[in-house]
Amino acid sequence: MNTRHIAIIAKKEFLGLNHEKTILLAVLLQLFVAMFSSFLMVGLTSMYDPSSLSTATRVRYGVGLTGANTTLDQYLGERADFQVYRMDLSTGLAALKERKLAAVIYVPSTPPDALDPVQVTLYSLQNDIQTAVVQVKLKEVLLQYEEDLREVRSARLSATPREVRFPTGQRSEGFYEFVFGLLVPLLVFMPAIIASSLIIDLITEEYQHNTLETLVSTPVSFAEVVWGKVLACELLVPVQSGAWLLLLAANGIRVQNPLPILLLVSLSSLALILLSALTALHYRERTAAQFIYSTALVVVILVVVAIPGNPLNVIVRAATGAPGMDLPGTIGIVGAAALSLGYVTHRYAQWIGQRVQNGS
């Protein structure tokens, strides 16, 4: 193969990417996520860890308290994020409907040591973002009150509870899990998925525009054309992934081992690009090739994720600087897979080029 021919094809395809509106929109979406990751993570983290909302705001919310006087009054008064108002239940509900209050709590007159349960009622607005924050904050106060009731009624226990000692540890932070468990792998691998879809368009357009015969009649072989397109798509991956890591650093999210991560992502993307190139060479029609490749990609991802030392897991561990990760071994395995796919793609492209030259 002539590397100069490959470089010319790659330059031509790379400069023509500005006409691919779908690719540009996908890149802009990733750019938005990377630039505003600190802002987005608050809302996205709350989807699976609502308790994280309690630290996301410092607003003081008005809460109406009705019913009996209990230690709940003291706990609410000690909180800096609540302004407590003593009032009748009807007045509190009216203020809640007018959004003058964030929530209303009704405490029944049931004595703490009574046989009946103490049913505290919380009134709040439905389908309101503020309600989610207020409920998480109030949960902490209500749990304190629940502990008081448990202590008062502990004499009713007929047996002594067995004390269980759990090992001390640090509480897992939703922010940390979201950033390194989801955001970093998503940003660094998304360019690989985009590039592997792009190569299908670049190859199938030669069939659809009937330019394949013209290409093989030039000094450039069809295999060199394919490798030029693969190179153009591959160059996108480290550039985009590196830019996302820099933007994350600008947002205060520092990723450990950035260079090994970029190397692993680049090799993984090369394997995906070659797999999609094979699909495009075989089916030759864009819609069919995209559908088959998308289906195969889902199967490949499910199989790979089931392996403990898969690239996604290794990237998460490498980004956090966790010990015991087999980063060099994973890079070697992925590199071997990309090399094997490269050999198959090259031979298949040569075979197609010979068939086109022979007019078959």
pLDDT value at position 19?
61
> Domains in the chain, please, with CATH?
3-35+172-357 (no CATH), 50-153 (3.40.1710.10)
pLDDT value at position 26?
60
pLDDT value at position 163?
73
| First-last CA distance in the chain | 23
DSSP 182: I
Cite the beta strand spans of the chain per DSSP E: 61-67, 82-86, 103-107, 121-124
Bridge partners for 65 per DSSP = 86, 105
pLDDT value at position 175?
63
**Sheet holding 103-107: strands in order across?**
82-86, 61-67, 103-107, 121-124
User: Which of 89, 99, 96, 35 shows the shortest CA–CA distance to 65?
Assistant: 89
Residues contacting 11, CB < 8 A, separation 6+: 232
pTM: 0.62
pLDDT value at position 30?
59
Q: Per residue of the chain (360 residues), what is the pLDDT tens digit? A: 678 878 877 877 767 666 655 556 666 665 665 555 554 555 555 554 555 555 555 678 899 999 988 888 899 888 888 899 999 999 999 999 998 999 999 999 888 888 888 899 999 988 776 787 788 888 889 999 999 888 888 877 777 767 777 665 554 455 667 777 777 888 788 888 888 888 888 888 888 877 777 776 778 888 888 888 899 888 888 888 888 788 778 777 788 888 888 998 899 899 999 999 998 888 888 888 888 888 888 888 888 878 777 788 888 888 887 765 677 888 888 899 999 999 999 898 888 888 877 765
* Structure tokens that stand for 76 in this block: 């609410």
Q: How far is it, in rounded angstroms, from Cα 274 to Cα 280?
A: 10
